[in-house]
A and B are shown apart, each in its own frame.
Chain A
């Protein structure tokens, strides 16, 4: 009896500690949003504020009217992320269907070759891609960055695993009725894949939104940049005085990802962790 109440107290203390730590986890985000509403002159006033003093959008309009083509950059990021997400949803699902449902010579070895791709860092592909893009004129075009990621080993793996956990009786019945493979894929398999596809879509979008290394190498001039690189540039431009303006730009840059996270927390967490648990 006593140990039980002792256990309850331990639970409470640990939860309290976790709550305090949890506040520290979100503090940087609170600071950045609050800062984006502070008058530029007060940016460095101490103590720092973690709650917005008032809703003053002047810093936001300063970003849009700065010498950095912020809207163009925002559009680039959005375009790349959307194109990559749609592209992966199509290519990965098609390939996953073949690997999960069809038998053909070399299937397992080809799948294995795709899996090996999970081990190659971007660093080992970037130099030839840079040289190749320079040759065909894709350097400094955001679409080039998007093209690199139109398929992914991880996506194929994720959808294939999910498909294998689904019953295939319906598909077999349709085959008996003489339906073609594409029809089976489109009419029967695809509708069952909704959870896997939304997870893949969300991970792919956030991942692409966050790419830095590749974007920095491939997209040099300002109008071609994506947000993560532009943010570093903005910081340099506006240096000390206009910290609030940088944070206004940052708030706009993190907004889509935070919105997705708040709306689909469960899917995001499942998806991102799935992106880990593959081996």
Chain B
């Protein structure tokens, strides 16, 4: 420890000797403050200070992400072998998954922190902690087979346009990680949707012709979105007298949830195709329990986000989704299962709760969360072209947050004005 301290002290000294190298101070300083809480003392005001700082706050969010990350690695491997139609041990699956996920993490952190360092040196301030979390979130909300250069471009976009132009950590309007995802979603939709990106190595499997029979490679939501077309096919197929079992089931019931791939419990545990870390509601809830336990994420936002999603899912479910009557297949899924699909829970725990982009007032948080959840599910169910509506729902809620806060604060201001008038 003393040895390490000495290295940093020497590095500081060496860098301060020369005018030219002085500007690289943030570089040394960032590593120094990572290893040591600095010896800064209070100057005026409160002489004693709480032990909490931003580094610990951010690190606890990363710890909360660990279940999602580990499960995500396993899940990636699981679907790799499913796609091949082979059986594999737990460790084999995990190994393949880790090989698929780690490059994403390395690119995200490498590029993101690189940009942060350049900006810090340019502006002459220390590197701030915000990207520690964003850098972990970005790989977890990407399809595993997205090209790495795209992740790099998206990360640069998110850090520069999403955050630094507003003034850095704590100043951004919308969620950094979702900015990266939204960027790719609109700039490179073919790499972010469809059936050729969600399973590690699926493209090669297709060209090599080793893909297991009947394996689609699309997410549950993608399957749902395609159900209408499939149903139409099924109608034609049955008239021609050559329907397979699933198509028959679709045709008979007009109910997509009957399909086994859509099981609620599989979705809850996370055995489904999707972005790396988003599939498991269970892992996300583990993270939620930890974040609420240490008081870092707001339970108010989580609860209201859940209720928002549930109410819209319930409302649409009640109107029914009879495919035979030309209905929307998303409406046919019962509300709880609907929420288990895709990234709803991951968004609820890690995205909507980002304190910088969330509403800041206690009352505002309830409205904010509700709007996020409701919009997310509304977009998902109402417009099957955007199956992952949660991302858009949260981004829109981010944009609404200042307005929500404004209204809550104005209520307080009005109370004060009223007092002044009656006094």
Is the A/B pair a real complex?
A: no
Q: Chain A interface (Cβ within 8 Å of chain B)?
A: none
